[in-house]
Amino acid sequence: VVQKLTQMIGKNVKLYDMVLQFLRTLFLRTRNVHYCTLRAELLMSLHDLEISEICAVDPCHKFTWCLDACIREKFVDNKRARELQGFLDGVKKGQEQVLGDLSMILCDPFAINTLALSTIRHLQDLVGQDTLPRESPDLLLLLRMLSLGQGAWDMIDSQVFKEPKMEVELITRFLPLLMSFVVDDHTFNVDQKLPSEEKGPVPYPSTIPEAFTKFLQENRIACEIGLYYILHITKQRNKNAFLRLLPALVETFSDLSFSDIFLHLLTGHLTLLGDEFALEEFCTSLFDGFFLTACSRKENVHRHVLRLLLHLHHKVAPAKLESLQKALEPTKQGGEAVKELYNQLTEKLELRKPSPAEATEPPSMELPLPTVPTPASR
């Protein structure tokens, strides 16, 4: 699609502006963030082809180029953070409309992914430095860009081109909460390494602060960062931290925990915890406590769970697998994709069933024919 659009536009600035307006309209009508990806990728494609006629007049060019480099490296380092801040601070009076385009570029899921994971890395660094989130300018910039990206639809819809106000509690309460989870992890890991006579049985913390759950339900930015923290610990194969925070995913802001983008990443990371699927407690928490709470009302969740089981069914305890197979059976109204995935899973499970022992054949009543010697060839 990007290639076709690039060829169609060529060096025509007017045509480029029309395409951008079309992408804005589609984004407004559908709320589909992949139009934001297309907006950024189109500009970078023209940049790669050195179409200076367009790149020179698009005020988002240098910002997008810098952000694209961060996305490729999956991290916003201090130098690039300063550059990005310079572009945001450089929006002049009377040119505020450019914030609409910048917010759309920051709303691209690849940008959100990079900003959220960079935020988590910064928080981990702050724990080691004994520094509060509000004392880190780089962290505050990441939050500013996340906020701008998450506010893209509202900004373009309202045509009020102002940066969203940052909620103070996000910085003073929510981020320190996340840092406390990092500290809990460190404490538990250090405790596990102590000689057995020096340590008492210290269980991993199992409760979630009520404030954390509330933030995930009511604050979009907190929810986004919280979800990426959960993805981060899952990728690290941190089963204890994952099971502790999993209940907070059942009810989140705008059902973000059941969005395709999050579920695609989560199910991918869960394959790294494959051996845990043999444990009843793990499967009950994950399937009964999270996935199955939404399967009946959200077909996309149903699809993601079936895909996960197609990959990991051989790891799940047979009794649990049987109950999951019953729970995941599609209704008559279910979509074709769900039915197809369910049929594939059923076929795989049928193939795994041990074939019934072949019945021993009764001895034949017929007498064997005598062997007739063949005449020797002359």
Of the candidates 202, 204, 146, 205, the residue with the CA atom closest to the CA atom of residue 174 = 146
Cα–Cα distance list, 223 to 120, 170, 356 (Å): 13, 10, 51
- For the chain, the C-alpha Rg in angstroms (whole number) is 28
Please state, in angstroms and rounded to a whole number, the distance separating the CA atoms of residues 177 and 298.
30
With a CB cutoff of 8 Å and minimum separation 6, the contacts of 174 are 211, 212, 215, 219, 222, 225, 226
33 three-state secondary structure: coil
- pLDDT-derived band at 200, boundaries 50, 70, 90: low
Helices 260-270 and 299-312 cross at an angle (nearest 10°) of: 20
What average pLDDT does the segment 135-139 reach? Answer: 94
pTM: 0.89
- pLDDT-derived band at 244, boundaries 50, 70, 90: very high
What average pLDDT does the segment 123-139 reach? Answer: 94
pLDDT at 23 over 50: yes
Of the candidates 17, 19, 27, 139, the residue with the CA atom closest to the CA atom of residue 76 = 139
Of the candidates 87, 209, 222, the residue with the CA atom closest to the CA atom of residue 147 = 222
Please state, in angstroms and rounded to a whole number, the distance separating the CA atoms of residues 31 and 364.
74
pLDDT value at position 93?
Answer: 85
Decide which of 354 and 322 is more confident: 322
Please state, in angstroms and rounded to a whole number, the distance separating the CA atoms of residues 116 and 120.
6
Cα–Cα distance list, 128 to 66, 100, 179, 186, 308 (Å): 28, 37, 10, 10, 36
Decide which of 340 and 375 is more confident: 340
pLDDT value at position 378?
Answer: 40
- pLDDT-derived band at 95, boundaries 50, 70, 90: confident
pLDDT at 202 over 90: no
Distance of CA 65 to the CA centre of its chain: 24
Whether 101 and 39 have beta carbons less than 8 Å apart is answered as yes
pLDDT value at position 356?
Answer: 56
pLDDT value at position 359?
Answer: 41
Give percent of the chain with pLDDT exceeding 70.
92
pLDDT value at position 193?
Answer: 81
Q: How many CA atoms are closer than 13 Å to the CA of 140, on its beta-carbon side? A: 13
